[in-house]
Amino acid sequence: MSAAGGSSAVWRDAVAASTLGSGNLRDVVRLPCGEDKNEWLAVNIMDLMKQVRMLYGVVFGAEGGCNEKTCPVMSARGKEYFWTQGDLLLSTPAPTYIDYALTWCQLQLEDENIFPSHIGKGFPPHYDQVCETIMRRLFRVYAHVYHAHTNVFRSLKAIAHLNTSFKQFILFASQFQLIPREELQPLMPLIEELVGSQLAS
């Protein structure tokens, strides 16, 4: 059964396995005392990017997974995501959009002028904006996976892995207010099940 359409049964199935016993994820994402916030954002966003790549790799490689035939548009719960190219909004198949999004995110993370790897080199003035854009684009991958491909994770008995990854992602985004609440709407029922309704606005 596909997750497309966002039926209540899908949400119950997705949450039924809950998450892995991974301790308190709220503590995991909180900025440690004495740590630089920008460096903390960089380390965590890089880790979340790896998780999203891995999870999407499972879907992309699965039989009947994400391809141009199964997912001719990039969408989640009736909302289509368009890729922005200059002044154009492009409607693309989900795998194309996700490839564009992950490639763009990776290029930002590898750019020494945005995410410096040398101690003492400063972060640029637009650093927060780049972090927010990366997080929004990663969220859209989760949104599409949950709405179109939870069947893949159910078949692999890996819903708990997906939920744990997403829970950490959303707690981190909330902790640092990296994704506007309206952007979260396609997954809000699941978010409220996993982390409650007290998200940072």
105 is in an annotated binding site: no
Give the other-Cβ count within 10 Å of 32's Cβ: 7
71 is in an annotated binding site: yes
Give the other-Cβ count within 10 Å of 201's Cβ: 7
131 is in an annotated binding site: no
147 is in an annotated binding site: no
In 56-157, which ranges are E strands? 75-76, 79-80, 83-85, 88-90
Q: What are phi and psi of 66, to 5 degrees?
A: -85, 115
Q: Which two tokens stand for residue 72?
A: 């001719």
Count of H-run helices and E-run strands, the chain: 8, 4
For residue 89, the cross-strand partners are 84
Q: Work out the angle at residue 77's Cα, subtended by the Cα atoms of residues 75 and 82, and round it to the nearest 5 degrees.
A: 25
Question: What's the CA gap between 130 and 188, in Å, rounded?
Answer: 23
Q: Which residue has the tokens 């301790």?
A: 23
Residue positions forming the annotated binding site: 66, 71, 144, 149
Residue positions forming the annotated binding site for Zn(2+): 66, 71, 144, 149
